[in-house]
């Protein structure tokens, strides 16, 4: 079992067996997500890369937990989240995956945001 499969299995197990995890909702998890994002920003600001690794893990964890709750409620699942983000990143990088060309990082940034704004 790879780490991603282990991650998904752990979320499923905790939702099934942990009384606290069982009662979480998408709404109840939003403040946890916001708190973890701020901790990521703080670690980046402080150049604390050991802590950054941990905090990114926490953001991924909360995102996975929210996704599991959404799956249970019939909204979407992890596969559809990953499919959508993959397709979006390909669309927003036509200078990599299409015919457009970016001669600089600034060109690439402008192309990315032009596509994003058009969506």
Provide the pLDDT confidence category of residue 12 given band limits of 50, 70 and 90: very high
For residues 11 and 68, membership in a common domain is answered with yes
Report the domain count for the chain. Answer: 2
pTM over 0.85: yes
Provide the pLDDT confidence category of residue 13 given band limits of 50, 70 and 90: very high
Q: 70 lies in which domain range? A: 1-76
How does pLDDT run across 14-40, given as a tens digit for each residue? 999 999 999 999 999 999 999 999 999
Q: Rounded distance, CA 43 to CA 53, Å?
A: 9
How does pLDDT run across 34-92, given as a tens digit for each residue? 999 999 999 999 999 999 999 999 999 999 999 999 999 999 999 999 999 999 999 99
Rg (CA), the chain: 18
For residues 62 and 38, membership in a common domain is answered with yes
For residues 65 and 94, membership in a common domain is answered with no
For residues 96 and 109, membership in a common domain is answered with yes
pLDDT of 1 above 90:
no
Which own/partner contact pairs does 1-7 have at CB distance under 8 Å and 24+ positions apart?
A: 7/60, 7/61, 7/64
The per-residue pLDDT for 97 is 96
């Amino acid at each position: 079992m790879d780490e991603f499969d282990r991650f998904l299995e752990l979320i499923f197990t905790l939702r099934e067996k942990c009384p606290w995890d069982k009662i979480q909702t998408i709404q109840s998890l939003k403040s946890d997500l916001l708190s973890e994002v701020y901790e990521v920003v703080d670690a980046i600001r402080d150049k604390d890369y050991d802590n950054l690794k941990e905090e990114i893990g926490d953001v991924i964890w909360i995102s996975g937990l929210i996704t599991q709750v959404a799956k249970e409620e019939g909204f979407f699942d992890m596969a559809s989240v990953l499919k959508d983000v993959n397709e979006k990143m390909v669309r927003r990088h036509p200078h990599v995956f299409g015919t457009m060309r970016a001669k600089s990082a600034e060109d690439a940034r402008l192309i990315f945001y032009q596509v994003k704004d058009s969506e």
